[in-house]
Structure 1
Amino acid sequence: MKKILIVYFSRTGKTEKMAQYIAEGVRMSGCAVEMSSVSKIASDAEIIGYDGYIFGCPTYHKDMTSNMKQFLFLVERANLVGKIGGAFGSHTHSGEAAPMIYDTMQHVFKMDMTTLGPLNLEEAKIGIDEGLKACQQYGRAVGEMVNS
C-alpha cells in the first residue's frame, strides 16, 4: 500500500482539522496516511520513504509561519524530486501561505504537484460540509495521483 505523509502547523486547530479531513480523502483513495505536526519532525530522515507529501500551514500576516519555513528547509535536504505533492492552508482574509508552500514544493523541491493547485480555505468554511468535502476531495486526488 502506498503511503502519504501529511505535515502541518496549526495554532488554533483549524489547519489541523483540515489535515484530518485531507487524511480521510487520502484513505478513500486506498493509500495509507501518516500525520505529524511540524514540531515533531526533527530530521530529514523522518521525511524520506513516502510516496506522496502534503504540507499545510495557516496564513499569518500574509505569510507562512516561521516554523513552516524552517520545516521546508529540512524538507529540501530530503531530496523529494519527482515525488507527488500537495499543499493546503487556512486563512481569515488573505491566504498566502498555501500557495507559497505549493510553489516551493513545485519549483524548489521539483516535486510532481497536484494540478488542483494549493487548497486554500477560509477558516469559517472548515467546520461546514463545503470545507469537509473540499479537503476530502483534495486528499483523494493526491492519493489517486500516487496510485496511478
Structure 2
Amino acid sequence: MDNFPRGTICIEDIEMGMTRHLRKEVTDADIEKFAEVSTDRNPVHLDDSYARDTIFGGRIAHGMLTAGLISAVIGEQLPGHGSVYLGQSLKFLAPVRPGDVVRAEVEVVGIEVDRRRVTLDCRCEVAGKTVLAGEALVMAPSRKFD
C-alpha cells in the first residue's frame, strides 16, 4: 500500500496542489458492515441474484462507503486529525464492486488561512477510472489553537 502516514497538517503548512491518498480493497465484509451500520440494506448491495437483474449487472458497494474513503483521507491525512468537515459535494460516476481496489485522493485547490478553510478536490478511482468526484470544504487545525 502507498498510503501516507496519519497525523495532522496545520493550516499554516498547507499548500496549493498538496495531495494525499489511500488505497483500499472493498470487500464483501465492508459492504455487509456498512449495511449494518447505515441500515441501508438495499439488495443491490447484498443479494447477488437481485443485483444481477439491475442496470449494474451485479452487486455494488454503497456509494457512501466509497465516499467514506475520502473522509478517511481528510480526517487522517490532509488536513488530518483535528479537521472539521464543513461541506461535501459528490458525483457518483461508476459503480464500485466487491473486490475493487479504490484509490481515494484529495488535492488542495483553495486555502483561506485567516478562516482556516481548505477546499479539496476529491476523487476515487478504480483501475484508473474515476468512480466518484467532488469537492470538500474543511476547517483545518492551526498551531495557534494548540
TM-score, scaled relative to structure 2: 0.26
The structure carrying a bigger strand percent of its residues is 2
Structure-1-length-normalised TM-score: 0.26
